[in-house]
Amino acid sequence: MHTQVAIIGAGPAGLLLAQLLHLKGIDSVVLETRSRRYIEERVRAGVLEYQSVDILKTAGVGDRLMREGLRHEGVEILFNRQLHRMHLQALTGHPVTVYGQQEVVKDLVAARLASGRRICFEVEDVTLHDVDSDAPRVRYRDSSGTEQVLECDFIAGCDGSHGVCRPCIPSTVLKSYERVYPFAWLGILAEVKPASEELIYSNHERGFALLSMRSPTISRLYLQCEPDEDLTKWSDDRIWQELQTRLSTEDGFHLDTGPILQKGVTAMRSFVAEPMRHGRLFLAGDAAHIVPPTGAKGMNLAVADVRVLWEALVHFYAGSGAARTEKLDTYSATCLRRIWKVQRFSWWVTSMLHRSHDDNDFDRRRQLAELDYLTTSPAASLTFAENYVGLPLT
């Protein structure tokens, strides 16, 4: 079996790349170890930068997004029990859109199936071969247990932080950068109308909290907790009480409660792998980088990677001679320049809003001073807004 681009992983990065390539007449095969149901129900990020929305519309999967996505022109920063609105639209001319990652995946899977091009779920034993040659191959067992060999021109590694693609880059070539944070998020999905029309980021003496949403009837909320937090000690009543405490305001903000549909603990870390290309293997999304979720950048970074890789592959197949590889050759450097700026922003917002065990009174007062400066200085507010709505793709 042969294809032009073998795509490992059916997350937002892999599926979006497949759809964009299809629209340009470039064949691909998508291989995914999980089931279709699993990837469509896996709750992840939910804030889309305006450029991510534009790319999804370009890919032909923006109709439901535009109907059901929640357009937000600002976010709220809460500290000292006072809300401070950051007017993203007024500061930058751009909003963000709340639309769950699982909804993006559903739209992209539907588009893939409608295209008639191949997507294989529940594959096993995926291995990459000859990635540093002009004829790489992917071996795997399909859902029936039959061994398959997929020959291709390029491999797109979109299989996440624990996938098989990144380890295929030799340790003598790959360098990793990582920061592990001493806290985590206890996240819940609740069947209750969001208590705010916009996201609320709260810095509280008991720890960070976030009020977010996935729809007009579904709320997504988070509490800073320990990395090894025991969920059995967190009853629904305790979770709601702690959220109310950390999101309380001087004017009596009230958090409506409702049935909790899901709960879990999310670790916090920053990670970057360099380079993002080795031979004919190109990493994209979580296979190459992880950001703490505070800045809402994980899915957006994956979309940005795919935009650059898609344009490079189109340039390759449309061109001739040595120049056709020009954009592929600069793929890693182009992506990493933006990735590190996003890493900086995500680290900054995380450190500004969370409490650490080794913080003393000086650290607490410095943190509050930084939040005061952020919410009163036009220059600081603009810096935050520019990063939050999305930096230029290149």
Residues 99-119 pLDDT 10s: 999 999 999 999 999 999 999
Which whole number is the average pLDDT over 44-67? Answer: 95
Task: List pLDDT tens digits, range 120-146.
Answer: 999 999 999 999 999 999 999 999 999
Domain ranges for the chain, please list them. Answer: 5-45+101-177+269-349
For the chain, percent of residues with pLDDT exceeding 70: 100
Neighbours of 250 (CB within 10 A): 9
Mean pLDDT value of segment 235-256: 94
Return the residue matching tokens 């793929």.
331
Give the model's confidence band at 42: pLDDT under 50 very low, under 70 low, under 90 confident, else very high. Answer: confident
Q: Residue 323: its pLDDT value, please? A: 86
| Cα torsion through 280, 285, 289, 294, rounded to 10 | 170
Predicted confidence at residue 393, as pLDDT, reads 86
pLDDT tens digit string along 352-378?
999 998 899 999 999 999 999 999 999
Cα separations in angstroms, 65 against 99, 111, 169, 216: 7, 13, 36, 14
Could you give the residue numbers annotated as active site? 72, 201, 293, 297, 388
The Cβ of residue 114 has, within 10 Å, a number of other Cβ atoms equal to: 11
Q: Which is nearest to 54 in space by CA: 44, 36, 46, 66?
A: 66
Mean pLDDT over residues 28-44, rounded?
Answer: 93
Which of 9, 63, 1 has its CA nearest to residue 39?
A: 9
- Apex 46 CA angle, 45 and 52, nearest 5: 100
CB atoms within 10 A of CB 206: 12
pLDDT computed for residue 394 by the predictor:
78
Q: What is the model's pLDDT at position 56?
A: 98
Q: Is 381 helix (H, G, I), strand (E, B) or coil?
A: helix
**DSSP-assigned beta bridge partners for residue 272:** 177, 289
In which band, very low, low, confident or very high, does the pLDDT at 44 lie, cut at 50, 70 and 90?
confident
The CATH class of 5-45+101-177+269-349 is alpha beta
Classify residue 9 by burial, with Cβ atoms within 10 Å: 0-12, 13-18, 19+: buried
Average pLDDT, the chain: 96
Cα separation, 291 vs 298, in Å, equals 6
The residue-averaged pLDDT of 342-349 equals: 98
| Average pLDDT rounded to a whole number, residues 192-205 | 96
- Cβ(106)–Cβ(40) below 8 Å: yes
pLDDT the model gives residue 217: 92
Res. 77: pLDDT tops 80: yes
Q: Is the pLDDT reported for residue 45 higher than 80?
A: no
The tens digit of pLDDT for each residue in 278-324 reads 999 999 999 999 999 999 999 999 999 999 999 999 999 998 877 89
Q: What is the pLDDT of residue 322?
A: 79
Q: Write down the residue that tokens 């929640």 correspond to.
A: 70
Has residue 5 got a pLDDT over 90? yes
Q: What phi and psi, each to the nearest 5 degrees, are found at residue 151? A: -90, 145
pLDDT for position 193:
95
The mean pLDDT of 329-342, rounded to a whole number, is 98
